[in-house]
Amino acid sequence: MNALQSRLKIFARWEVGLIGVLVLELVIFSSLNSKFLDPNRLLFSMSDFIYLGIIALPLAIVMITGGIDISFASVASLSAIVMGVSFKSGVGIWGALVIGLLAAVAAGLVNGLLIILTRANPMVITLGTQFLFAGLALAASGLGGISSFEGVSGLPNEFTGIAGGRTFGLPNMLLVFAVVTVLFAMLLGRSTFGRQARLIGANPVAARYAGFRSDAVIVGAYVLTSLSAGIVGILLTSYVGSARADIGASLLMPVLTLVVIGGVSMYGGEGSIFGVVVATFVIGFLQQGLRFARLSENEVAVFTGVILVAVASLRWWSANWSERVRNNRVRRENLRRQAGAADGPRTPVAAASEV
């Protein structure tokens, strides 16, 4: 019986439910339009949404530590425009790319150090730095004499071909996402950094008394998120062929939604990279399927928002239900143990007294 229960437990996992939703989406949208399931179309359309997952993966680690970062969209814009301005100033495209990524790393350090030094709520800190980095991106654009609408164009073909190109027959965006997924899965599941990140989110006081380097783990998580945002900013620049100061403006809500729907607790300590990966495909194919069903962009946004609210509510409800089931099980086991102790074998002293 216990073996059967342990086998059935896997179906109660949130990630398995997400896979079921993904399969249901594919079935419904393919029945509405047979071209939806065309393998080539499915494969190469992933570049339209897969970049969201590249930021969502490290953001999941930040939220597992109990924090949150809402400045990553501005970091993506900052990284892109710094790269564009550097290129326009005469730096080679690859040197400009490195400078753009260094700007993203610096932004992550600012976030992490401010949170550690002030001990303020991470949402408050990153809300402030969101405006700070967006302002810096506009300032860099202005100093470079760049139009905020056109950005820096005329980028070399070897750069603009990165995001839209293919390697071994696969979209480069998808390959970048696959590499980042493997790296963060190993970091969270197989490293001391990942184990400490979970405990810091679950019980920060216990982590501190255990001697964990909590500050270093937290700063590292924010730096990784900013670095990934910088990579996405540069990939989007390559995709559209122009470096703009607002290229990451639309990233905030979709990425946050991916992380929450992927099963990462906003209170820290819980979540998995696999859940975020599945959520990326669930949301991406949902929006594509709605467009295939001939819904307008406004209708797609409204429909997606309604579904996301429903799924997020279901996630909250299922988490509470699971906790209640666990508490009831522990309570029953304690009562059974107490009853067993009361009905246990009599001691030699008790037996002698009866004689």
pLDDT tens digits, residue range 106-158?
999 999 999 999 989 999 999 999 999 999 998 888 876 776 667 788 889 88
| Residue count (the chain) | 355
Predicted pLDDT at 40: 85
Predicted pLDDT at 343: 66
What DSSP assignment string belongs to 124-186? HHHHHHHHHHHHHHHHHHHHTT--TTT-B----HHHHHHHH-EETTEEHHHHHHHHHHHHHHH
Ramachandran category for residue 145: left, alpha or beta (phi over 0 → left; psi -120 to 50 → alpha): left
pTM: predicted TM-score of the whole model, two decimal places: 0.84
Rank 73-87, 242-256, 316-330 by mean pLDDT and report only the highest: 73-87
User: Exposure of 215 by Cβ count < 10 A (0-12 exposed, 13-18 middle, 19+ buried)?
Assistant: middle
- Do 37 and 285 contact (CB within 8 A), yes or no? no
Q: What percent of the chain has pLDDT over 70?
A: 91
Lowest mean pLDDT among 58-67, 134-143, 292-301: 292-301
pLDDT mean over 88-99:
93
pLDDT mean over 13-38:
86
pLDDT mean over 79-108:
94
Distances (CA, A) of 144 to 69, 138, 152, 208, 244: 28, 10, 9, 46, 12
Q: How confident is the model at residue 86 (pLDDT cuts 50, 70, 90)?
A: very high
At 266 the three-state DSSP class reads coil
pLDDT mean over 302-328:
76
Structure tokens at 108: 């992550």
Mean confidence (pLDDT) of the chain: 86
For the stretch 199-246, pLDDT in tens is: 998 888 888 888 888 899 999 999 999 999 999 999 999 998 888 888
Q: How confident is the model at residue 348 (pLDDT cuts 50, 70, 90)?
A: low
CA distance 252 to 52: 9
CA distance 218 to 81: 27
Q: Is the dihedral angle over the CA atoms 139, 145, 148, 154 positive or is it negative?
A: negative
Predicted pLDDT at 355: 41
Q: How confident is the model at residue 291 (pLDDT cuts 50, 70, 90)?
A: confident
